[in-house]
């Protein structure tokens, strides 16, 4: 159930359950009962119309460029406000994306990951001792079968 549906379930005229208790039972904040949404003022509407006009003329402008262009028309708004209003209006800059085919390269894979499962069973397990740094490299090492757990006697 959405929070707006739960807010509608609150009955202010109910004397048996207080508003605080009703809010706790419905798991909504008490302040949300008293909130009355404020409409958009005339100044913001004018700014939105100007953003729409600029965006129609330059559809490749993002919020930064529109915010920089607005003072020419006598409007002043920061980039974050322009971005918020563009999101409300559903406007998004059109720009050329990166060509995926030209720049996309295969990621290097480890050799043991590229072996199919059946072939991997036939490969001998490499001991982790061979690949590790040892204090006494001249001593002989015992390769322990069963994986790379690093156990072995010098």
Does residue 76 share a domain with residue 47? yes
Residue 136 lies in a domain: no
Please count the structural domains in the chain.
Answer: 2
| pTM confidence score | 0.48
132: nearest Cα among 152, 114, 104, 113: 152
Does residue 55 share a domain with residue 82? yes
92: nearest Cα among 64, 68, 59, 67: 59
Domain that holds residue 17: 3-34
User: d(Cα 65, Cα 44) in Å, to the nearest integer?
Assistant: 19
Residues 113, 127 contacting (CB under 8 angstroms): no
Each of the 154 residues of the chain gets a pLDDT tens digit; together they read 888 899 889 888 888 889 999 999 999 999 988 888 888 899 999 999 999 999 999 999 999 999 999 999 999 999 999 999 999 999 999 877 666 555 566 665 555 555 555 555 555 555 444 455 555 556 666 555 665 555 554 4
Residue 20 lies in a domain: yes
User: d(Cα 13, Cα 22) in Å, to the nearest integer?
Assistant: 12
Residue 151 lies in a domain: no
């Amino acid at each position: 159930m959405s929070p707006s549906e739960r807010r509608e379930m609150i009955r202010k005229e109910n004397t048996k359950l207080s508003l605080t208790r009703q809010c706790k039972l419905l798991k909504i904040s008490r302040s949300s009962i008293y909130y009355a949404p404020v409409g958009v003022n005339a100044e913001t509407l004018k700014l939105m119309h100007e953003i729409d006009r600029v965006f129609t003329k330059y559809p490749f402008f993002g919020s930064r460029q529109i915010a920089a262009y607005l003072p020419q028309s006598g409007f002043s708004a920061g980039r974050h406000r322009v971005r918020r209003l563009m999101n409300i209006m559903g406007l998004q800059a059109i720009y050329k994306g990166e060509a995926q085919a030209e720049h996309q390269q295969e990621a290097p894979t480890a050799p043991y990951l590229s072996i199919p499962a059946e072939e991997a069973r036939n490969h001998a397990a490499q001991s982790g001792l061979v690949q590790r740094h040892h204090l006494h490299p001249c001593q002989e090492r015992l390769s322990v079968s069963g994986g790379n757990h690093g156990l072995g006697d010098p």
